[in-house]
């Protein structure tokens, strides 16, 4: 491993270091990368100063609970981001069977159909961290040339910006995760959205929407009648905690499977 001694992740920079970059560098880069390759989740890891350890600096698309066991991992760990940073290469996991074959510990925790790519964030002189992104299990078994080119180019650009930050003594901080859906107030700001909500409210079928944490973000009157609870008593609660007959780990597991597999 090269060039980690001068790398500062949080407030541990040089005494005379200027303030950190104003724009959220990591989250903007991750969001743009995911959009370019149509990935539905991802994360950026940074090397910890003075340690052979990767720490998750920002995650997007899924609650961080999905990656909780791997928020802080050693470079020697048998997981894709560590291998990508350690070997300075792209690591591709094509799906559920491939994950079980090469990374059984991850497959046990996340036994769902999804594809994953992990890449180093490195220049010729130093390694600064790694990135991973995921796709639904319906992704083809191979990365396309276009996807690979976009992934490598984005990570190379990020590495150059981090190298410049190190040279200028600017620390890069962890950033808020990108998982918050648009609020009801934001969505209802357009006439079409308002009419859609009214239409759903008139349907005789019980309907509800869940956010990325499994919390109820919308429920119509028919759902409230079926459940015997007011809409106000449903909003913000987890479905399997509010509805007694769904209070079984299998239902939360099915929801996690739907989030990762997008099925």
The string over 41-73, giving b where at least 16 C-beta atoms fall within 10 Å of a residue's C-beta and e elsewhere, is bbbbbbbbbeeebbbbbbbbbbbeebbeebeeb
Q: Which residue from 214, 182, 177 is spatially nearest to 60, judged by alpha carbons? A: 177
178 in Cβ contact with 61 (< 8 Å): yes
pLDDT single digits (tens) 51-78: 999 999 999 999 888 888 999 999 999 9
158 and 249 inside one domain: no
pLDDT single digits (tens) 138-177: 999 999 999 999 999 999 999 999 999 988 888 888 898 8
CA distance 217 to 231: 10
Which of 138, 167, 196 terminates a domain? The answer is 167
47 and 110 inside one domain: yes
**What is the residue range of 211's domain?**
184-261
101 and 38 inside one domain: yes
Burial degree of 156 (CB within 10 A; 0-12, 13-18, 19+):
middle
185 in Cβ contact with 33 (< 8 Å): no
Calculate what percentage of the chain has a pLDDT beyond 90. 48
Please tell me which residue, 227 or 23, carries the higher pLDDT value: 227
138 and 203 inside one domain: no
Q: List residues bridging with 238 in a β-sheet.
A: 215
CA distance 135 to 115: 5
238 in Cβ contact with 215 (< 8 Å): yes
**What pLDDT shows up at residue 242?**
86
44 and 161 inside one domain: yes
CATH number of the domain residue 41 falls in? 3.30.450.40
CA distance 204 to 68: 40
Which of 136, 167, 198 terminates a domain? The answer is 167
Please tell me which residue, 9 or 87, carries the higher pLDDT value: 87
188 and 156 inside one domain: no
SS3 at position 167: helix
Q: Is residue 255 part of a domain?
A: yes
Count structural domains, the chain.
2
**What pLDDT shows up at residue 3?**
37
pLDDT single digits (tens) 26-56: 999 999 999 999 999 999 999 988 899 999 9
> How many other β-carbons are positioned within 10 Å of the β-carbon of residue 124?
8
136 and 211 inside one domain: no
Residue 13's pLDDT band, with cuts at 50, 70 and 90, is very low
Residue 205's pLDDT band, with cuts at 50, 70 and 90, is confident
**What pLDDT shows up at residue 71?**
94
pLDDT single digits (tens) 123-132: 999 999 999 9
Average pLDDT score over residue span 184-210: 68
CA distance 38 to 139: 10
191 and 153 inside one domain: no
29 and 148 inside one domain: yes
206 in Cβ contact with 229 (< 8 Å): no
67 and 158 inside one domain: yes
pLDDT single digits (tens) 219-258: 888 888 888 889 888 899 988 888 888 888 888 888 888 8
Residue 87's pLDDT band, with cuts at 50, 70 and 90, is very high
151 and 92 inside one domain: yes
- The distance from CA 223 to its chain's CA centroid, rounded to whole angstroms, is 30
Least confident of 23-27, 112-116, 128-132, 177-181: 177-181
210 and 125 inside one domain: no
Q: Is residue 16 part of a domain?
A: no
Q: Is residue 2 part of a domain?
A: no
* Mean of all residue pLDDT scores within the chain: 84
**What pLDDT shows up at residue 15?**
41
Which of 167, 197, 225 terminates a domain? The answer is 167
């Amino acid at each position: 491993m090269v060039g980690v001694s001068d790398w500062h992740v949080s407030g541990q920079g040089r005494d005379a270091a200027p303030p950190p970059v104003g724009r959220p560098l990591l989250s903007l880069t991750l969001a743009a990368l995911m959009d370019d390759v149509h990935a539905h989740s991802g994360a950026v890891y940074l090397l910890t100063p003075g340690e052979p350890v990767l720490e998750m600096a920002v995650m997007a698309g899924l609650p961080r609970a999905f990656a909780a066991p791997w928020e802080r991992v050693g470079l020697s760990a048998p997981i894709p981001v560590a291998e990508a940073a350690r070997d300075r290469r792209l690591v591709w996991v094509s799906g559920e069977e491939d994950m079980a074959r090469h990374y059984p510990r991850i497959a046990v925790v996340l036994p769902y159909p999804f594809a994953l790519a992990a890449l180093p964030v490195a220049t010729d002189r130093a390694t600064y961290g790694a990135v991973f992104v995921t796709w639904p299990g319906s992704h083809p078994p191979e990365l396309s040339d276009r996807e690979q080119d976009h992934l490598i180019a984005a990570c190379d650009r990020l590495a150059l910006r981090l190298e410049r930050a190190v040279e200028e003594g600017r620390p890069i901080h962890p950033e808020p995760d990108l998982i918050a859906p648009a609020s009801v107030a934001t969505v209802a700001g357009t006439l079409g959205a308002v009419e859609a909500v009214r239409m759903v409210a008139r349907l005789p079928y019980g309907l509800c929407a869940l956010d990325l944490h499994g919390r109820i973000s919308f429920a119509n009157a028919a759902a409230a009648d079926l459940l015997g609870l007011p809409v106000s008593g449903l909003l913000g609660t987890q479905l399997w905690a509010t509805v007694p007959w769904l209070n079984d780990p299998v239902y939360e597991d099915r929801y996690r499977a739907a989030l990762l597999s997008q099925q």
